[in-house]
Structure 1
Amino acid sequence: MTADYRTVIRLKHASNLDKIPADWRLKYIPSPEEQQEVEPYIEPLLSSKELWITNVSALELLKNIKSGQLSALEVCEAFCHRSALVHQLTDCLIEIFYDRALQRARELDAYFQETGKLVGPLHGIPISLKDQFNLKGITTSLGYVAPHISEELECIVSQKTPDEESLLARILYDAGAIFYVKTTVPMAMFGSETSSNLGVTRNPFDRRKCPGGSSGGEAALLAGKGSVIGMGTDIGGSIRGPSTQCGLFGLRPCSNRFPYLGTSNSYPNQPIVPSVAGPMCRYLEDMEYVSKVVLDAQPWFQDAKVPPIPWRSVNLDIINVGFMHWDKIVMPHPPILRALEHAEKSLQEHGIDCLDVEPPLNHAEMATFLTDIYTCDDFAEIKKFAALGGEPLPELLVKMFQLNGQVFDLNDVFNKVGQKYQYQQTYDKFWNDTAHHTKNGKPVDCIILPGWACTSWKIGEHYKIANIYTRFLNVLDYSVITLPVSHVRDSDEPFERTDFAGEADRLCWEYYDKEFYRGMPIVLQLVCRRYEEEKCIALAKKLLPIIRD
Structure 2
Amino acid sequence: MIVNGVHFPVIQVLETPRGTPEYEEKRAALLQAFWEPVPKGYYLPADIIRDPPKDVSGIPSTCGILTPEEIAITENYDCTGLAQAIATKKYTAVAVATAFSKRAIICHQLTCCLSQWFMDSAVKQAKALDDYFEANGHTIGPLHGVPISLKDHIPIAGTYSSQGCFGSILKNEKDCQMIRILRDLGAVFYCKTNQPQSTMHLETDSHWGQVLNPFNIHLSAGGSTGGEAALVAMYGSPMGVGTDVGGSVRAPSAFCGIYGFKSTTSTLPMKSFTATIPPAELNIPCSAGPMCRSLRDVDLFMKLILSVKPYLEDPRIVPIPWTGLQTPTTRKLRVGIITNDGFIDPQPPVKRAIAWVKQTLSDSKYESIVEIKDFKPFAAEEAWSKVRRMYWPDGAKATIKAIEATGEPIHPLSAWAWKDAEHLGVQDTFSLLKERAERDEFRLQFAENWERQDVDVVIGPAFVGPAPQHETAFYWTYTSLYNLVDYPACVFPTPIKVGTKEEYDENYTPLSEECAQVRRLWKEGNFEDAAIGLQIIAKRHHDNELVGALKVLQQALGLP
In the other structure, the counterpart of 1:411 is 430
Q: Is the contact made by 2:97 and 2:122 (CA closer than 8 Å) also made in structure 1?
A: yes
> Per-residue deviation at 1:536?
1.6
Q: Is the contact made by 2:279 and 2:394 (CA closer than 8 Å) also made in structure 1?
A: no
**SS of residue matched to 1:485:** strand
In the other structure, the counterpart of 1:462 is 473
**SS of residue matched to 1:4:** helix
Matched, 1:537 2:556: no
Matched, 1:21 2:39: yes
Counting only pairs closer than 5 Å after superposition, residues 83-102 of structure 1 correspond to structure 2 as: 83-102=104-123
- Per-residue displacement from partner, 1:499-521 (whole Å, max 9, x unpaired)? 11122111212333699222211
- Per-residue displacement from partner, 1:468-507 (whole Å, max 9, x unpaired)? 1001110110010111112325377313244111221112
Measure, in 2, the Cα distance between the counterparts of 1:519 and 1:322.
Answer: 28
Measure, in 2, the Cα distance between the counterparts of 1:518 and 1:391.
Answer: 34
Counterpart pick for 2:373 among 341, 351, 355: 355
Matched, 1:296 2:341: no
In the other structure, the counterpart of 2:142 is 121
Q: Which sections of structure 2, spanning at least 5 residues, go unmatched?
A: 1-19
CA distance 1:404–1:532, shift in 2 (3 Å): closer
Count of aligned positions: 526
CA distance 1:324–1:538, shift in 2 (3 Å): same
In the other structure, the counterpart of 2:344 is 330
In the other structure, the counterpart of 1:345 is 359
In the other structure, the counterpart of 2:296 is 285
Measure, in 2, the Cα distance between the counterparts of 1:454 and 1:380.
Answer: 31
- Per-residue displacement from partner, 1:368-394 (whole Å, max 9, x unpaired)? 211112221122111221233222222
- Per-residue displacement from partner, 1:438-487 (whole Å, max 9, x unpaired)? xxxxx321000101111111112234xx2210011101100101111123
- Per-residue displacement from partner, 1:49-73 (whole Å, max 9, x unpaired)? 1111111111111111111111111
Measure, in 1, the Cα distance between the counterparts of 2:520 and 2:334.
Answer: 34
Measure, in 2, the Cα distance between the counterparts of 1:343 and 1:269.
Answer: 34
Counting only pairs closer than 5 Å after superposition, residues 82-161 of structure 1 correspond to structure 2 as: 82-147=103-168, 154=170
* The 10-residue stretch of structure 1 (29-38 or 345-354) with the greater mean CA deviation from structure 2: 29-38
In the other structure, the counterpart of 1:163 is 173
Report the TM-score when normalising by structure 2. 0.90
CA distance 1:422–1:324, shift in 2 (3 Å): same
Counterpart pick for 1:520 among 511, 522, 530: 530
Q: Is the contact made by 2:498 and 2:532 (CA closer than 8 Å) also made in structure 1?
A: no
1:393 counterpart letter in structure 2: I
Counterpart pick for 2:90 among 64, 69, 83: 69
Report the TM-score when normalising by structure 1. 0.92
Matched, 1:433 2:436: no
Measure, in 2, the Cα distance between the counterparts of 1:33 and 1:523.
Answer: 29
Measure, in 2, the Cα distance between the counterparts of 1:204 and 1:491.
Answer: 19
Q: Percent identity?
A: 28
Q: Is the contact made by 1:91 and 1:200 (CA closer than 8 Å) also made in structure 2?
A: yes
In the other structure, the counterpart of 2:74 is 54
- Per-residue displacement from partner, 1:330-379 (whole Å, max 9, x unpaired)? 11111211111121121121112111021232x12212211112221122
- Per-residue displacement from partner, 1:201-244 (whole Å, max 9, x unpaired)? 11111111111110011111111111011000000100011111
- Per-residue displacement from partner, 1:518-549 (whole Å, max 9, x unpaired)? 22111111001111222222221221331349
**SS of residue matched to 1:30:** helix
CA distance 1:8–1:515, shift in 2 (3 Å): closer
Counterpart pick for 1:378 among 385, 391, 395: 395
In the other structure, the counterpart of 1:440 is none
2:35 counterpart letter in structure 1: L
Q: Is the contact made by 2:488 and 2:543 (CA closer than 8 Å) also made in structure 1?
A: yes
2:552 counterpart letter in structure 1: K
How much is the aligned-residue C-alpha RMSD, in angstroms? Answer: 2.0
Deviating runs (4+, > 6 A) in structure 1?
A: none
In the other structure, the counterpart of 2:493 is 484
CA distance 1:59–1:197, shift in 2 (3 Å): closer
Measure, in 2, the Cα distance between the counterparts of 1:426 and 1:378.
Answer: 27
Q: Is the contact made by 1:367 and 1:468 (CA closer than 8 Å) also made in structure 2?
A: yes
Measure, in 1, the Cα distance between the counterparts of 2:160 and 2:247.
Answer: 25
> Per-residue deviation at 1:400?
3.6
CA distance 1:97–1:31, shift in 2 (3 Å): closer
In the other structure, the counterpart of 2:4 is none
Q: Is the contact made by 2:114 and 2:191 (CA closer than 8 Å) also made in structure 1?
A: yes
In the other structure, the counterpart of 1:151 is none
Measure, in 2, the Cα distance between the counterparts of 1:175 and 1:125.
Answer: 9
2:533 counterpart letter in structure 1: V
> Per-residue deviation at 1:116?
1.2
* The 10-residue stretch of structure 1 (197-206 or 298-307) with the greater mean CA deviation from structure 2: 197-206
Measure, in 2, the Cα distance between the counterparts of 1:266 and 1:199.
Answer: 25
**SS of residue matched to 2:547:** helix
* The 10-residue stretch of structure 1 (169-178 or 351-360) with the greater mean CA deviation from structure 2: 351-360
In the other structure, the counterpart of 1:158 is none
**SS of residue matched to 1:354:** strand
